Amino acid sequence: MYLSNSGETSSYLSNFTPFELLFVEDAPMLQMILAGRTPKEAFPTVKKIVLMAPGSDASSLGLDNVLTWADLRKAAESVPESQLDEIESSQCVNEACVVLFTSGTTGMPKGAMLSHDNLAYAIALIGDSWLWGRETIVTCLPLNHIAAFLLDVLMQLHHGGTTYCADKNALKGTLVWNQEMSRVRTTLWTLCIHRWRL
């Protein structure tokens, strides 16, 4: 979900694609998306909501289906390897892996289904043609943006790289590029030209 999404847009997205996990930045963003509704009213199929920002406090919301990123990681430790193997072996060619949505600048957001084999092919092609290795990236894009999802998340997972997420206001002047880039020893930087418009 983009920070600019209205309650109407968020409802449209949840009705278009019934999803079970919802990742949001923090509690204020979740409250904005819910727009006074309960999570069940806003997102009928969602089982868990994950707050991504470090230091997020899920208990302050008084909702039993909200976790922090740390909570999710802790829960993942108890999943047996055999269960993960079973899920992996059940994946089929051309089966949906993820649906990514546009930001909706020309109307309601449009969804694009990306299959497991599509993403595997893209990772192999980009890795070979760009000579991608174990990179260190600072990203300014939201991770639900196609470029950030493919390059800053999937490519990094595949190659064992590290991705640092800049502050959401980084391109508005909160990030001191020289200091940040040298601190994390950035080897690659991806961005979307549209984000530079004033």
The string of pLDDT tens digits covering residues 133-170 is 888 888 877 777 788 889 999 999 999 999 887 776 66
Work out the mean pLDDT of the chain and round it to a whole number: 81
Average pLDDT over residues 116-140: 87
Strands 136-139 and 162-165: parallel
CB 101 within 8 A of CB 149: no
CB 136 within 8 A of CB 186: yes
Is residue 107 scored above 70 in pLDDT? Answer: yes
Q: How high is the pLDDT of residue 147?
A: 83
Q: How high is the pLDDT of residue 173?
A: 62
Q: How high is the pLDDT of residue 57?
A: 82
Cα–Cα distance for residue pair 192/81, rounded to 1 Å: 37
Span 43-100, pLDDT tens digits: 888 899 999 888 888 887 888 889 998 899 899 999 999 998 998 888 887 888 888 8
Cα–Cα distance for residue pair 117/95, rounded to 1 Å: 8
**Alpha carbon of 176 to those of 50, 118, 167, 170, 172: distances in Å?**
29, 36, 11, 8, 11
Structural tokens at position 158: 């595949």
